Structure 1
Amino acid sequence: MKTDRSIDEKLVEAYISGDKKALAALVKRWHKLFCDKAYWLVKDKDAAKDIAQDSWTIIISKIESLKEPKQFKFWAYRIVCNKATDWLRLQSKNQKQSIGYEFEIKSEDHVYSESDQVKLRLLKAVKALPNNQKMVVQLFYIEAYSLKQISDLLHISVGTAKSRLFHAREKLKTELKNKNKY
């Protein structure tokens, strides 16, 4: 991991010094990963590509303000996550509905096991969380990021990350308990 950071550090410093090939190397090294991260967050391939491209525009314009070039990965991922969050927020406003309700149980002839029903309810409940809580839950439980890494990635304090995770868990517990009463 230190070698990755030192490679990024050298490329960032080279680009800032005027080496355009260093930027090409950074893009080659990170563009697909940015697209993947954006897709993981927004679940739309075209939007993910646009988000990654928009992120590169910001990265290029602000790279000289990066205080620690070895932190390029976290800094750039934070930009991608922020762009993805902006996209999700815009979609939420435009559609006036929570993202991810495509998992509704529509077929009455298909019998779901109790385990499958719980998984579907949990998935719906997670997708219905506010975007900031949903992102922390996904980063913590699916991506296995630590709270410190989440705080760095989302540019929030560790306490805020803990709080969002706590409140998300409480909402999920309440939602699942309410569904089990019926």
Structure 2
Amino acid sequence: MKIDHSIDKKLIEDYKAGDKRALTLLVKRWHKSFCDKAYWMVKDKDVAKDIAQDSWTTIINNLEKLIEPKQFKYWAYRIVCNKSTDWLRIKSKNQKQSIGYEFEIENDDNKYTDNEQLKLELLKAVSTLSANQKVIVRLFYTEAYSLKQISDLLDISVGTAKSRLFHAREKLKIILKNKNYEN
């Protein structure tokens, strides 16, 4: 979907000039996309809506500081991604603290085809990655973002994005290789 950045620029300039209706139009224009992005990362619709709402609070409070209104999409997505990553980090920390909790995928060869089994193993392996690595893997492979776009979205250097992706791949290789020896 091609986004017309000039619409965002006009709405933001109108809002900065005092037109509160422009903010309403900006929210209508982007809210669903923010919910979708948050859901893609956290996989929980209610949490995604909360993250999008919390993101809007941050966006509105900092909209005056946005220097280049044409970059609103990337700036706002970065806020949504950061809030989603924060939520994932907290969730991961809470899961580690819970006693005896372990996620297992049922391994019934008759239940899944080889392709489905491979997908399940890959998903399980990805779930073991750190929150930062999960986000990079999802953005790169599922959303097909370039490393430059990922670095802009997450407000990290291209080198950091590259490094996280490399380490995530290496960890996945080890996990999947060890899994093949077990079978």
Question: What TM-score, normalized by structure 1, do the two folds share?
Answer: 0.92
Question: What amino acid maps onto 2:68 in structure 1?
Answer: E
Mapping of residues 105-124 of structure 1, within 5 Å = 105=106, 108=108, 110-124=110-124
Would you say the 8 A contact 1:38–1:51 is kept in 2? yes
Q: How does 1:3-152 map to 2 (within 5 A)?
A: 4-96=4-96, 104-105=105-106, 108=108, 110-152=110-152
CA deviation string 1:68-100 (max 9, x = no partner)? 110000000000011111111111122227xxx
Residue identity in the other structure for 1:88: L
Distance 1:140 1:93, change over 3 A: same
Give, as a single letter, the amino acid of the residue that structure 2 aligns with 1:13. E
Q: 1:3 to 1:76 in 2, by over 3 A?
A: closer
**What SS class does the counterpart of residue 181 from structure 1 fall into?**
helix
Cα distance change, pair 165–75 in 1 and its aligned pair in 2 (3 A): same
Query: Secondary structure at 1:51's aligned position in 2?
Result: helix
Deviates more, 1:109-118 or 1:127-136: 109-118
For 1:47 and 1:109, how far apart are their aligned partners in 2? 34
Post-superposition offset of 1:109: 8.0
| CA positional deviation for 1:126 | 0.8
Across the aligned residues of Structure 1 and Structure 2, the Cα RMSD in angstroms comes to 2.0
**1:26–1:125 distance in 2 versus 1, CA, 3 Å:** same
CA–CA distance in structure 2, aligned partners of residues 164 and 73 of structure 1: 24
* Residues 19 and 157 of structure 1, relative CA distance in 2, 3 Å threshold: same
Find out whether 1:172 has 2:172 as its counterpart.
yes
Question: Is 1:41–1:84's contact at 8 Å kept on the other side of the alignment?
Answer: yes
What percent identity do the matched residue pairs reach? 71
Work out whether residues 103 and 120 of structure 1, in 8 Å CA contact, stay in contact via their aligned partners in 2: no
Unaligned runs of 5+ in 1: none
Residue type of the alignment partner of 2:141: Y
Moved over 4 A (4+): none
Q: Paired residues, what number? A: 179
For 1:20-79, what per-residue CA distance to the aligned partner results, in whole angstroms no more than 9, with x for missing partners?
011001000000100010011001111101000000000000001111110000000000
**Residue identity in the other structure for 1:85:** T
Alpha carbons 1:15, 1:21 under 8 Å: kept: yes
* C-alpha distance after superposition, 1:93-152 (max 9, x if no partner): 22227xxx766116x484333332222111100111101011011000000001110000
Match of 2:161 in 1: 161
Segments of 5+ residues of structure 2 without an aligned counterpart are: none
- Relative to structure 1, the CA distance from residue 3 to residue 134 in structure 2 (aligned partners, 3 Å threshold; closer, same or farther) is closer
TM-score after normalising by structure 2: 0.91
What amino acid is the match of 2:49?
Answer: K
The code of the aligned residue for 1:104 comes to I
